[in-house]
Amino acid sequence: MPKGKTTDCPPDHTECANLILPLRDALEILSGKWKLPIIMSLSFGNKRFKEIGEEIPGITDKMLSKELKELEKIQLIDRKVIDSFPPGVEYSITAHGKSLEKVIMELTQWAVVHAQKNQAPKKTKK
């Protein structure tokens, strides 16, 4: 048996491929740097357009509008027109969008640990 090979490893990679394909689909659906922050913002409650924009540093109104439309199209958020003067729009997270909250929180916690690990002082060789 070649070095590094184990007997419990399947000869084909079907199981791995079966996991990678849905992962790639998920990454494609949630691609970009704005979708997950928008979902996180709405997981803290319903918000108007301006409120979402204020919570997400660096996002432009044009990009926020584009991303909100995409998130609504894939049923992760809802858009509700409020009958008021002037008319307003409120965004909320759907049950389908809420299903991502655990993943987003885990990813966020991982990012914090990763950042701390990379900011640790480097040991110098003597």
pLDDT category of residue 126 using cuts at 50, 70 and 90:
low
What's residue 84's pLDDT?
Answer: 85
What's residue 48's pLDDT?
Answer: 96
Selection from 60, 59, 91, 61 nearest residue 76 by Cα: 91
How far is the C-alpha of 80 from the C-alpha of 75, rounded, in Å? 13
pLDDT category of residue 16 using cuts at 50, 70 and 90:
confident
pLDDT of residue 1 exceeding 50:
no
The boundaries of the domain holding residue 76 are: 26-117
Task: Please state the φ and ψ torsions of residue 64, each to the nearest 5 degrees.
Answer: -60, -45
pTM of the model: 0.78
Cα separations (Å) of 30 from 3, 26, 43, 87? 39, 6, 16, 30
Report residue 106 as tokens.
Answer: 């885990």
Question: 23-44: per-residue pLDDT in tens?
Answer: 899 989 998 899 999 999 999 9
Task: Quote the number of domains for the chain.
Answer: 1
Asked if the structure places residue 86 within a domain, the reply is yes
| Strand ranges across the sheet with 88-93 | 47-48, 88-93, 77-82
**Percentage of the residues of the chain whose pLDDT score is greater than 90:** 63
How far is the C-alpha of 33 from the C-alpha of 73, rounded, in Å? 18
Asked if the structure places residue 1 within a domain, the reply is no
What's residue 8's pLDDT?
Answer: 57
What's residue 41's pLDDT?
Answer: 96
Task: Please state the φ and ψ torsions of residue 3, each to the nearest 5 degrees.
Answer: -60, 135
Asked if the structure places residue 105 within a domain, the reply is yes
CATH code assigned at 113: 1.10.10.10
